[in-house]
Amino acid sequence: MELKKRVARLSLGAILILCLISVAQAQNFEVKTHTLKNGMKILVNEDPSIPNVAMYIFYRIGSRNERPGTTGISHFFEHMMFNGAKKYGPKQFDVTMEAAGGSNNAFTNNDVTVYQDWFPHSAIDLIFDLEADRIENLSFDPKMVASEREVVASERRTSVDSENSGLLNEQLWAAAFTAHPYHWPVVGWMVDIQNWKMDDLKHHFEMGYSPSNATMVVSGNVTADEIFKLAEKYIEPIPSHAPPPPVTTKEPEQMGERRVVVKKFAQLPLLMIGYHVPETASPDYYPLEVLQTILFAGESSRMYQRLVDKDQLALSVESEYQLSFDPTLFIINAQPKDGVSPDKVEKTVYEELDKAKTDFVTDNELQKAKNILLANFYRNMKTINGKASAIGSYEVFFGDYHRLFTAADEFNKVTKEDVRRVAQKYFSDKNRTVATLVPESADPKGGGNER
């Protein structure tokens, strides 16, 4: 078994929805659309290159729609969507789908809950039947709720308690956001996971799962006509209702640096620096993506060159800049080397950011960033899964899937003046939150460290 390889990279995360791709002279491919009478929009890309189909359903509901006391309920609810409805009872969703050759997954983030099915074309009718059943008639069996609560608790222990970067990331967001719901973690605080009531779940379903609050994307060995007909048969009869109430809270402007320290047993320290940046739909998205590419993409990037290669202060340095509905964070993650203080790493990161604020990036760097973004675009278009994800992400976060095909022009328009302007505007000390994990040695008595 191998260790994860060290690289400076954009933190792409599990799914492409995290960091969007971009284009430049990218080829168009055809997307056909249809909106059902109940308001659900369907987007189809016909691609017969393999005999399979990728289906994504995006619901515009995530942890930003939650409240203190029931944090994490969007994610918990996502789990419940697999635990039985009217026609297909407990476990039958997965058992039936796998027996027909299909598989599935789902994920939740701050803004959306997304369900994914991957299946051979022969299973297409069944998949619609399964999806319609759980959207219309989900059951709330108390026994399933109790068991799933434990699964989610285990998930939290795995992704937060057992993973230092998960723990620190949670603390960073909690400090950077004081008013807006991005303050709490998607998986939820442990006490909240343990305390939701059945009524909370039912309320969440009513709030988030109207067909009009969802977008379906299908890519693969299908025809658009066949998908639209199936959707009309299975999904259209499901009544629509009110969407979630708008999230009106705005995070007040940050007036000075915030610092968080986490002390726990660890081999090495960690450093995370977060800057408030605007939502995806903002025009500054494109210059920020270009700047991110120049600073973090590849071993020739500025941050890798300085921190990993030349000064040898860090094992890795990465950035994270998610798609989002509301103003979010641009995060820099660094893993200091053994014996190097996080302070030294932090100071060096600022020196590199200052250069981007003071001087223009070179023409060569600007062109390189555009080339990398173009190549990444094609890489994401290699699979039907990648295409379904990209079409849906542009439709939901940019408001129109056509933006996938015009991103090319948007990136090409970015100038070095734009890049310097966004560096100056967002990478200021007043606008940042710094989180550091400081290793503690183990308690010899074996106590402590438990949360």
Q: Which of residues 153-172 bind another protein (CB under 8 A)?
A: 153-155, 157-159, 161-164, 166, 169
* Partner residues linked to 272 by β-bridges: 333, 435
DSSP of 142-198? HHHHHHHHHHHHHHHIIIIIT-HHHHHHHHHHHHH-SSSGGGS-TT--HHHHHH--H
- How far is residue 7 CA from its own chain's centroid? 20
State which residue, 379 or 430, has the beta carbon closest to another protein. 379
- 368, 301 Cβ separation under 8 angstroms: no
Distance from C-alpha of 119 to C-alpha of 73, rounded to nearest angstrom:
28
Beta carbon of residue 2, minimum distance to another protein (angstroms, whole number): 5
Shortest Å, Cβ 387 to another protein: 10
Q: Considering only the stretches 91-99, 204-212, 243-251, 425-433, report the one whose residues sit in contact with another protein under the rule CB under 8 A.
A: 91-99
Cβ-based nearer residue to another protein, 353 or 366: 366
Binder among 146, 191, 253, 417 for another protein (CB under 8 A): 146
Q: Where are the beta strands (DSSP E) in 257-313?
A: 258-265, 270-277
Site for another protein in 186-205 (CB under 8 A): 186-187
CB of 188 to another protein, least distance (A): 9
Neighbours of 225 (CB within 10 A): 12
Please tell me the count of residues contacting another protein according to CB under 8 A: 104
- Whichever of 36 and 386 has its CB closer to another protein, that residue is 386
Binding mask 226-265 for another protein (x = CB under 8 A): --------------------------------------xx
For position 37 contacting another protein by CB under 8 A, the verdict is: no
Contacts of another protein in 365-404 (CB under 8 A): 367-368, 371-376, 378-379, 381-385
Least distance from C-beta 320 to another protein, angstroms?
A: 8
Q: How many other CB atoms are there within 10 angstroms of residue 203's CB atom?
A: 13
C-beta of 248 vs 441, nearer to another protein:
441
The C-alpha atoms of residue 91 and residue 203 are separated, in whole angstroms, by 23
Q: Among 31-39, 127-135, 333-341, 350-358, which window interacts with another protein (CB under 8 A)? A: 333-341
Q: Which is nearer to another protein, 82 or 228 (CB)?
A: 82
Residue-wise DSSP of 30-77: --EEEE-TTS-EEEEEE-TTSSEEEEEEEES--GGG--TTSTTHHHHH
The Cα 307–Cα 98 span in angstroms is: 46
- By beta-carbon proximity to another protein, the closer residue of 188 and 278 is 188
Q: Are the C-beta atoms of 171 and 435 separated by less than 8 Å?
A: yes
What single-letter DSSP state applies at residue 382?
Answer: T
Kindly indicate which of the ranges 42-50, 195-203, 237-245, 390-398 contains the residues binding another protein, using the contact rule CB under 8 A: 42-50
What is the rounded CA–CA span in Å between residue 366 and residue 360?
10
Instruction: Specify the residue, 36 or 262, whose C-beta has the smaller distance to another protein.
Output: 262
Q: Cβ of residue 347: shortest distance to another protein, in angstroms? A: 19
d(CA 106, CA 117): 9
With H, G, I as helix, E, B as strand and everything else as coil, classify residue 128: helix
Instruction: Give dist(CA 369, CA 363) in Å, integer.
Output: 10
Out of 34, 38, 89, 101, the only residue in the binding site for another protein (CB under 8 A) is 101
126 lies in the binding site for another protein (CB under 8 A): no
User: Which 47-86 residues touch another protein, going by CB under 8 A?
Assistant: 48-52, 75, 78-79, 82
Q: How far is the CB of 7 from another protein (least distance, A)?
A: 8
Residue 367 CA to residue 416 CA, distance in Å, equals 10
* Closest distance of CB 60 from another protein, Å: 15
Among 28, 137, 312, 358, binds another protein (CB under 8 A): 312
Stretch that binds another protein, among 3-11, 203-211, 389-397, 416-424 (CB under 8 A): 3-11
Pair of tokens at residue 3: 């260790």
Pick between residue 100 and residue 425 the one whose CB is nearest to another protein: 100
When the beta carbons of 126 and 238 are compared against another protein, the nearer one is 126
CA distances from 354 to 298, 334, 341, 406, 448 (A): 20, 17, 20, 31, 41
Tell me how far, at minimum, the Cβ of 404 lies from another protein, in Å: 15
**Residue type present at position 145:** V
Give 170 or 410: the residue with its C-beta nearer to another protein: 170
Q: Does 98 bind another protein (CB under 8 A)?
A: yes
